[in-house]
Amino acid sequence: MKMFKKWACSILLGVLVGTFSSSAFAESPMTVQMKALSAGLAGEMATAALAECDRRGYLVSVAVVNRDGNLTAFLRHPLASPMTIDVSQGKAYAAANLRASTGEVSDASGLMHAPKVILVRGGLPVDVAGNFYGGIGVSGADSATDEMCARVGIDAIRETLEFGE
């Protein structure tokens, strides 16, 4: 009798687990689709941001990262300070991982010592037409100009992202 109870409990548990797990999976997709920036578009974005800052007389670095914060494109004015390299990448990384402007989260003291995160204005998430692509960070000008140049970079490819397929 003891063996039968153990066997019956195993069968019942298997049926319950199978019922719940199959209904849970039936409601959610088995795959997830996402869009990513091509290297060409990331380069266009970086080029437009760098050109805008250069036009205004600022020597900057521009970093574009994917949604995971991995570098996709990078440009540096030849005379920009070497420290702009890490700062632009940190701004882009923070914007991508927090999905927010670094200016909006600059007072998040709990993140001030997070690895690779730079919470100074000049990093923007690249979120266009309902699709999240990553982040862009600019460093070398004052923080408001860094952010404005980053926005110019995003705007340079916005139409392609909105209407291109």
Tens-place pLDDT, residues 58-68? 999 999 999 99
If asked whether residues 29 and 44 sit together in one domain, one would say no
Same domain as 21, residue 90? no
In this structure, are 17 and 56 located in the same domain? no
| Maximum Cα–Cα distance across the chain | 87
Domain that residue 14 falls in: 1-33
Instruction: Provide the whole-model pTM.
Output: 0.81
User: CA 141, CA 138: separation in Å to the nearest integer?
Assistant: 8
Shared-domain flag, residues 88 and 14: no
In this prediction, what percent of the chain has a pLDDT beyond 70? 83
Of 135, 156, 125, the closest CA to residue 53 belongs to 156
Q: Are residue 146 and residue 72 in the same domain, yes or no?
A: yes
Give the model confidence (pLDDT) of 72-124 as tens digits: 999 999 999 999 999 999 999 999 999 999 999 888 878 878 889 999 999 99
CATH number where 78 lies: 3.30.450.150
Structure confidence at residue 108 (pLDDT): 81
> Is pLDDT above 70 for 15?
no
